[in-house]
Structure 1
Amino acid sequence: MKKILLAFFGVFLLLILSGLALPFLFKDKIVALIDREIQKSVNAQVIYDLDKISLSFFREFPNISASAQDFKIVGYAPFEGDTLVSLNEIQVDFNLRSVLFDDYPTLTGIHLNGGSLYVKVLQDGQANYDIAISETQEVESTQDSNLKIAANLIEIQDLNLVYDDRSLDYFMALGGIQAKGSGEFTSSVFTLPIEMDATIANITYEGVNYLTDKLFRGETLMQVDIDQMKFELTEGDFQINDFLFDLGGSIAMPAEDIEFDLVFSGKDNSFKSLLSLVPGIYTESFSSLESSGTMDFNGFVKGIYSEEKFPSFDVSLAVKDGMFQYPDLPRPVKNVNLAFQAKNETAQLDNTSIRISTFNLDFGSNPISGNFFLQDLISYTMEGALNGKLNLEELTTIFPIEGLSLKGNLAVNAFAKGRYDSVAQIIPAIEAKLLLTDGYAKSADYPAPIEQMNVNASIQNPSGKMSDFLIDLSQFGFTLEEEKISGKLKIKDFDQLIWDGAISGAVDLKKLLTIFPMEDMNLEGRIQADLETKGSYAAVEAKKYNQLETRGTMAVDQFKYTSTDVPQGVEITEARATFNPERIELTEFDSKLGQSVVQANGTLSNYMNYLLTPDGILRGQLNVKSPRFNANEWMTESASTEPTESLSVIELPKNVDFTLSAAATEVLYEKLTLNEIGGTMTLRDGLLTFSNASMKTLGGTIGLNGSYDPRDLTNPKFDFDLNILDLSIAESFKAFNTVKAFAPVAQNLTGRFNTSLNVSGILGQDMMPVLSSLDAKGLLRVAETALRDSKVLEGITSLTRLKDANTLQLKNISIPITIENGVMDVRPFDVKLWDYQANIQGSAGFDGSMNYLINMQVPAGKFGAQANSLLATISGNAVNESTLIPIALNLSGTYNSPKIALAGGNSMETLLSNALKARVAGETQSLQNQATEQFNAVQDSLKQELKLKAEVIQDSVKNELQKQVNVGKEKAVDEAKKLLKGFLPKVKETTKPDTVKVNN
């Protein structure tokens, strides 16, 4: 017996040791296989760390498991900025026998643990999940796939999913997905049990939000036919919050069309389960909500979905004798009855009918009832009614409204019947009334209530004709701490759109915001208005604006506003405006924008046309002045706790014709201090022009005329004429990026310069000029300057060994310059360098490169002993120490790392010898001509290279701006990411052309 036990424990120990050893023995084989298969099958960047790959014999025994942590997949263009997959851990299971004995291991299971999946489909149908290597690429590959797939298990834990399909205008965000499926996936027909839990953060289709913040749970048995692409649900239990339903039938996709044959019905006839779908009700206290009543839900969807067809359907919902009551509140909502049906018996969605034959409920002792019928989506024949009364004070005993007291009576009585046809200008006959009397609202955060809230409104149209339509808001108003606001408005004849209204009174914004607080915003001040308006849209269309009688006054006092978006704050000490039919006149405006005092006055005209017609143009003139304006305060994160968004291209309205005259004593802009600013800006047709603008800065004056043109947001342009007087050369280098790029020598120059320059180009998304796009033409004038501590001078001295080349004094220089596609071309100009006659030409690129040719005439004696020894060898009196020696120098590289060489590549000794001999022979001119020809040939080649580089950069800038134009869609994704905690961590690694990136 003892021997048997020893043998048993020996075998058991051997199995344990084998299980521990196997992962180490086969890790390299399995990792190499995974790496090879990814490269063969995935056209994307796959990122993982070899040190975070582990193998286990026990996780999925008798299979062997390989797991990798921090696993990511990032797509290539146009999805290079999107992380398709970001997993905390991915595990794949292999058949143990295949690992031990077969040439090619067999994959049996996949596990995704924690992380996120972001699926994105562009409007043209391109999808970021389409990363499988195409058949063409597979044919070109010299190796076939070595992986056998016999997977029978897929398991998902804590996965977040965003599906953003812009081709269908469909958006879905799911969080915390738990799912499991098992079956013979490798068979063409198999049964797949599925279990899934998730949070539905958002489901939106064509701009309509259908579900938000709902819990989903599902369990079903799916029959899968891969050859027919048919998926049949034989059994199914599903749940959204507490709403349970079953779903059966099939979905098939044999071709491009989708065939539906689905039947669904509610499984719990409880009214409370339906309440769980109502936003705001399904909270932690939902389980304690008292409820009764029955609910019945059923329907079907059957038919083909395609571009031409829509499946028929019939969806019904019925509620009988529903009641619910919040715990600790005395009154219930009771007698809830609803009968709803949406039906379409054809293959055309336009034939859908909607019927709400029964709708009624009692808010305590206040009944509300109604009905609605819509025949189809073609004629829009409809009939409906809504009637009810609400005691607002009683309402607070039904719904929990913490910190707010309400009083008053609200009555609604509405009826409509007829057909809606916008082309024929027919609408249903309507009779509707809304009456609020003795309204009262008091917040626990503010001692004084809003009182005497009264609204009396009616809508009438007995015939269904647009001309008989009448909206009569005969009374509205309220009182807050003895300050009263009241008004009226009547709109009749929707053909002519005739209105007559008035508003009068004052409101304290701080008091109002205390009663109705708004998050992340502070607001105070007093607004007083006394306005009357009457007119008609027919007068607007006829441009008879004198028939639009809008008159009155408006005043703002001690207004203060701050928010998370505007932490600097806006204060308006006093503002006064008067209104008449022709214009609005701003007579006073004394404000403080952040720490900057701003005063203004001016007029607006044609404002009624602007407000009432889509193509109306607002015209105006504004005069603004400020003693000191700090623009930096509005460009940085300033006092904000979070960094503000970077600058972006500013879009200008095309229906505004506005002239702004500005004057400021001092303006702080980035590192510049601008003084005595003045000028005029005109905004017209989406184009902003500057005229007679001037400012003092850097010890000189800048005059400006030009334009900013963002009408094409992907290619915003600017075009300015600059007139610069007495600007400091060195300070200009510090302040302007263009000077740093094209004239880096300015950092070592003293003195001042003048120029008249026309400059144009495109702007990047940060509103800064794109250097590669710059075009300019002008003349640079310098009266006197000195160059010291320059690596260029050091290089010239080292090469030529001229005695006085360490410093350079320049006077009365005029340099003609042109810039085209980011390349500055300096045409030949004469100058004296160290009292030697010289001629300079060349170019500088936007990338900091330079290429210059300097032709100088230097007396032979200036070269010292090396020239004297050569002079002694030449007989006769043709040459002496005063003989001028032509030198041609090439300057290339960059200013801080210059490359200086003699044209032709000769040494100084050879150059002096040839030049002195040429003097005797009279051939010196040909030496300089030859150097110039060689330089021009190289120059043309360099310019072409820079031009091609500039085109690439400009295309990249335009692509980035195009992305910015589509930023609205991206915001929806960002909001979903906020809802899903930890969603889509940023990938720090740069996308490279390698398919697989392994951190080892």
Structure 2
Amino acid sequence: MKKVLKITGFTILTILILLIVIPFVFQGKIQGMVKQFINENVNANVEFSDVSLSFLRRFPEAHVSINDFVITNFEPFKGDTLVAAKTIAFTVSIPELFKTAGEDPIVINSISIDEALVTLKTNTEGQTNYDIAKASETETTSSETESSSFAFSIDNYSIENSAFNYIDESSKMMMQISELNHTGSGTFSGATSELDTETDANVSFTMDGTNYLNHNAIKLDALIDLDLTNSKYTFKENKGYINKLPIEFNGFVQLLDEGQNIDLTFKNPESDFKNFLALIPETYSGSLDGVQTSGDFTINGIVKGVNSDKTIPTFDINIASNNASFKYPDLPKSVKNIVINTTIKNTTGFLDDTFVDIKTLNFKIDDDVFKSSASIKNITKNMLVKANLDGVLNLANISKAYPVKLENELTGILKAKLNTAFDMNAIETNAFERIKSSGTASLSNFVYASEDMANPINISEADLTFNSQSVTLNHFKAKTGESDINASGTINNLLGFVLSDTELKGNFDLNSNLFKMSDFMTESETATTDNKTTTDGESLKIPAFLDCTINANAKTVIYDNLKLTDVKGKLLIKDQQATLSNVTSSIFDGALSISGDVSTKTETPTFSFNLDANNFDISKSFQGLELLQNLAPIAKLLQGKLNTNINLAGSLDKEFAPNLSTVSGNALAELLTTNIDENKDGLISKLESSISFIDFSKLDLKDLKTKLEFANGQVSVKPFDLKYKDIAITVSGSHGFDKTLNYNAVFNVPAKYLGSEVTQLISKIDSDEAKNITIPVTANIGGSYTSPTVKTDLTNGVTNLTKQLVEIEKQKLLNKGKDQVTDLIGGIISGNKTKTDSTKTEQTNAVKDVLGGILGNKTTQTDSTKTTSNTTTTNAVKNVLGGLLKKKTKDTIK
């Protein structure tokens, strides 16, 4: 017995070892077979990571799997992925692997595909990306085909967690099947077979920009007869679901050389109106548990004919309900008197002749009755539309009767009585003569609230009149926060904007008694910036679809801490650009005029503006406007009136505020009847402590004019002149938007202000020119506006005064000496010319002595004399000016 057990155990162990080892021997053969099959049959680029073989996984069958399988196209779809699958696996009986070349093909028993994505395309020229099978080099006759018929037997197959896309660019059609799970089982070895399938997936279908299905859940359990000889597939026992609406199919699909012959009928087996709600995706309809319904709902149809490149099957689909109602258990309102009568039909087999006829679509909520009808023809080309709306709808009742998920509650009464008829080409090209519209619509007591808004907007009245060419906004009254809006105007192509990708054009007159910008901003926005309207990482964009002109008139506009009155002007919005034209306002006891634009065409928004200010109160305007504070921070100390013109341009940040480092432009400023505020700040105090002979509170600033240029965060001030009594002052320099200062102020001080020492020094020089001497004293202003530094430079003043005094004295002495020399020379000429050389030398020395005396020393010492004289005068000037500026001479000169 032990011996038998040992033999048995050894045998089992040997078999296990063989089952593990043999696949490694055959794996290369299997991989070669796969590559050979692909090369012989596929005209595309095929890749896979590996092929594995196992005898244990599906014993007694062999299990073969191909991993990371990808097919990419050649031209004209080069690089497109046709098929991508994580795993493709199949099973065969182990003896099939031992067949040699020339024997019958290997019989595959089952196939499974996991996580596959198949994308089929047809381009505008009718070429397909899935036609990748290589043509046979030789054609076989029918008799040869029969003698070598292939008995291909598959017990079952499965497709799991996969997706399928079909894109037809010529017809602008796209179908997407996602979350596809499909299984099938049966025997395929005979001429006729039977296939039992189960399928569930989500389906989306779009044609010509219209979304007919959007992730609708589809389920189908079908038993299908397969007539492989005639390529005919007949539905026997089947039941499908669209969302939760049950549908039964009957009929067949047969493959033909030119397409498919289809003969199908379908209907919903139950007539309860709850089936209509089941047709709506659960995301929108909610749970149907406990929903009370009355009335019926039926959907049935016939699809019959050949589907080919030129034709489609004819079809007749009918949807009907009569006097139905529904009420959700958790909602207070019900929808009653529901009448639906709709037909979708094609009687010719040509796609262009398909039409939708909504004869009736009526319902009632409380006492509000809403009626509508519509027809749509020529769907695939220039679609023709007729529609009629007549009814009243209390918007608040929508969420009370139907579980629609609204971000914000709606209130208000909508009334509409409209008739319209148009073709889509007329809408897109604004061919108003082909647009027939008439009727009215109104909205009252409409309240809309959102977390993106600081306050709810309450529209008390909105009244519109429709005609063929435009929609007239007769009245529009609204309020949000403390702001009120009254508007009227016209909209030229409302239907074009709603139904196609066209601009919304209009002209409006906007009036307001009070318009507060803070009423249109959320709390988080105002906490960070005055005009932030975007989330982090996003930049505000002016809508590209807007093309409108707004004439605005507001009695009061409040922006941050600014209060503007009598605001009037025009705003043009077009091509992602907002242009202000002739905008005027009263502010800071003066008048403001603005023109310019803001553009969001580029990734970084830009702006360009021209501002004219007339008779502004300087103190108020410079304290209230950050821009003026940056251009001239010291001006906030001034009292009086200002005229200015500012041209500026730059970029805006993501919060729609000017990026100061990019702002450039220029400004012209004129001060009227202006003086300095008695409450002096640090800069004025610094100047007064350094320059004692100026009382800055008495500076004459009247009619002061200056020009500023700014770029790269710096403001350059062109030289301008001030006056203090008879002291002329010239100021120039620059400062940064960061309040850093770099200015020079040159004070041309008359000599009479320089004290008794200079006055006595000048009085010794008997000359009118000496009495008019002025001394330039330079004040270098640096540091920052909040912590300024002032340094006085006397170098130029000392040099200037010294040169003037020396020059005046020299000219005076030269003029006096000139007379003496003339007399001397005349005497020499009239004397005895026969004198000796020694006599001549004496006479010459006499002249030198005279000239030397004139220049303050002997002629042989002229240079040293001149230096000594200048040094003496210079030192005297230094002492005087140093004392005048309350500093020691040594420190001052340094």
Match of 2:801 in 1: 916
1:439 to 313, 318, 324: 324
The residue type paired with residue 469 of structure 2 is E
Report if the CA contact (8 A) 2:643-2:671 is conserved.
yes
| Secondary structure of 2:702 counterpart | strand
2:183 to 306, 318, 321: 318
The residue type paired with residue 683 of structure 2 is V
Match of 1:115 in 2: none
CA distance in 1 between partners of 2:275 and 2:360 (Å): 24
The residue type paired with residue 846 of structure 1 is F
Report if the CA contact (8 A) 1:231-1:251 is conserved.
no
Sort the Cα spacing of 1:738 and 1:531 in 2 relative to 1 into closer, same or farther, 3 A.
same
The residue type paired with residue 693 of structure 1 is V
- Return the offset for 1:532: 0.6
The residue type paired with residue 704 of structure 2 is I
2:609 to 694, 709, 720: 720
2:595 to 674, 698, 705: 705
Q: Which has the higher helix share?
A: 2
Q: Deviation digits for residues 923-960 of structure 1, max 9, x if unmatched?
A: 9xxxxxxxxxxxxxxxxxxxxxxxxxxxxxxxxxxxxx
1:514 to 400, 418, 421: 400
Q: Deviation digits for residues 900-921 of structure 1, max 9, x if unmatched?
A: 334xxx5x4x554323202225
- Return the offset for 1:451: 0.1
CA distance in 2 between partners of 1:432 and 1:402 (Å): 28
The residue type paired with residue 685 of structure 2 is E
Indicate yes or no: 2:549 matched with 1:659: yes
| Secondary structure of 1:794 counterpart | helix
The residue type paired with residue 669 of structure 2 is L
| Secondary structure of 1:750 counterpart | strand
1:387 to 257, 262, 267: 267
Indicate yes or no: 2:686 matched with 1:795: yes
CA distance in 2 between partners of 1:375 and 1:869 (Å): 127
| Secondary structure of 1:627 counterpart | strand
Indicate yes or no: 2:189 matched with 1:298: no
Match of 1:577 in 2: 464
Match of 1:819 in 2: 710
Match of 1:668 in 2: 558
1:852 to 743, 752, 767: 743
- Return the offset for 1:794: 2.8
Residue ranges of structure 1 left out of the alignment (5+ in a row): 1-227, 238-245, 267-295, 325-334, 342-353, 924-1000
- Return the offset for 1:445: 5.2
Report if the CA contact (8 A) 1:568-1:638 is conserved.
no
Match of 1:368 in 2: 247
Report if the CA contact (8 A) 2:594-2:609 is conserved.
yes
Which range is displaced more, 773-782 or 887-896? 887-896
| Secondary structure of 2:439 counterpart | strand
* Identity %, equivalent residues: 22
> Where in structure 2 are the equivalents of 1:330-729 lying within 5 Å?
338=221, 360=239, 367-370=246-249, 386-388=266-268, 389-393=270-274, 401=288, 404-414=291-301, 429-444=314-329, 446-494=331-379, 495-516=381-402, 518-540=405-427, 543-566=430-453, 568-614=455-501, 616-637=502-523, 646-648=532-534, 649-712=539-602, 714-729=603-618
- Return the offset for 1:724: 0.8
CA distance in 2 between partners of 1:783 and 1:643 (Å): 34
For these two proteins, the number of residue pairs brought into alignment is 624
Match of 1:99 in 2: none
> Where in structure 2 are the equivalents of 1:64-213 lying within 5 Å?
none
Report if the CA contact (8 A) 2:275-2:297 is conserved.
no
Q: Deviation digits for residues 322-380 of structure 1, max 9, x if unmatched?
A: 999xxxxxxxxxx9862699xxxxxxxxxxxx99998515899985234999999xx99
CA distance in 2 between partners of 1:338 and 1:691 (Å): 68
Q: Deviation digits for residues 442-463 of structure 1, max 9, x if unmatched?
A: 2445544210112221211233
| Secondary structure of 2:533 counterpart | coil
Match of 1:927 in 2: none
Match of 1:126 in 2: none
Match of 1:751 in 2: 640
TM-score under structure 2 length normalisation: 0.60
CA distance in 2 between partners of 1:236 and 1:863 (Å): 115
The residue type paired with residue 491 of structure 1 is I
Report if the CA contact (8 A) 2:497-2:503 is conserved.
yes
Match of 1:149 in 2: none
Report if the CA contact (8 A) 1:233-1:249 is conserved.
no
CA distance in 1 between partners of 2:698 and 2:53 (Å): 89
TM-score under structure 1 length normalisation: 0.54
Sort the Cα spacing of 1:803 and 1:486 in 2 relative to 1 into closer, same or farther, 3 A.
closer
Sort the Cα spacing of 1:912 and 1:660 in 2 relative to 1 into closer, same or farther, 3 A.
closer
CA distance in 2 between partners of 1:371 and 1:835 (Å): 111
Indicate yes or no: 2:728 matched with 1:837: yes
CA distance in 2 between partners of 1:533 and 1:861 (Å): 92
CA distance in 2 between partners of 1:497 and 1:711 (Å): 33
Q: What CA RMSD, in Å, does the superposition of the two structures yield over aligned residues? A: 5.0
Sort the Cα spacing of 1:775 and 1:363 in 2 relative to 1 into closer, same or farther, 3 A.
closer
| Secondary structure of 1:810 counterpart | coil
CA distance in 1 between partners of 2:500 and 2:88 (Å): 49
- Return the offset for 1:491: 0.9
- Return the offset for 1:549: 0.9
The residue type paired with residue 620 of structure 1 is G
Q: Deviation digits for residues 463-487 of structure 1, max 9, x if unmatched?
A: 3424311111111010112321111
Report if the CA contact (8 A) 2:276-2:297 is conserved.
no
- Return the offset for 1:678: 1.1
- Return the offset for 1:300: 5.5
Sort the Cα spacing of 1:583 and 1:235 in 2 relative to 1 into closer, same or farther, 3 A.
farther
CA distance in 2 between partners of 1:311 and 1:544 (Å): 46
Sort the Cα spacing of 1:467 and 1:582 in 2 relative to 1 into closer, same or farther, 3 A.
same
CA distance in 1 between partners of 2:350 and 2:511 (Å): 53
CA distance in 1 between partners of 2:500 and 2:86 (Å): 49
| Secondary structure of 1:837 counterpart | strand
Report if the CA contact (8 A) 2:531-2:655 is conserved.
no
| Secondary structure of 2:410 counterpart | strand
CA distance in 2 between partners of 1:683 and 1:525 (Å): 29
- Return the offset for 1:656: 3.7
> Where in structure 2 are the equivalents of 1:198-237 lying within 5 Å?
none
Residue ranges of structure 2 left out of the alignment (5+ in a row): 1-47, 58-62, 71-78, 92-109, 122-128, 134-156, 161-181, 185-195, 201-217, 225-232, 809-894
Sort the Cα spacing of 1:523 and 1:340 in 2 relative to 1 into closer, same or farther, 3 A.
farther
CA distance in 1 between partners of 2:592 and 2:56 (Å): 76
Sort the Cα spacing of 1:321 and 1:715 in 2 relative to 1 into closer, same or farther, 3 A.
closer
Sort the Cα spacing of 1:507 and 1:734 in 2 relative to 1 into closer, same or farther, 3 A.
same
Sort the Cα spacing of 1:468 and 1:782 in 2 relative to 1 into closer, same or farther, 3 A.
same
Structure of larger gyration radius:
2
CA distance in 1 between partners of 2:556 and 2:235 (Å): 67
Q: Deviation digits for residues 723-770 of structure 1, max 9, x if unmatched?
A: 211222232233322222221112322222111232222222111122
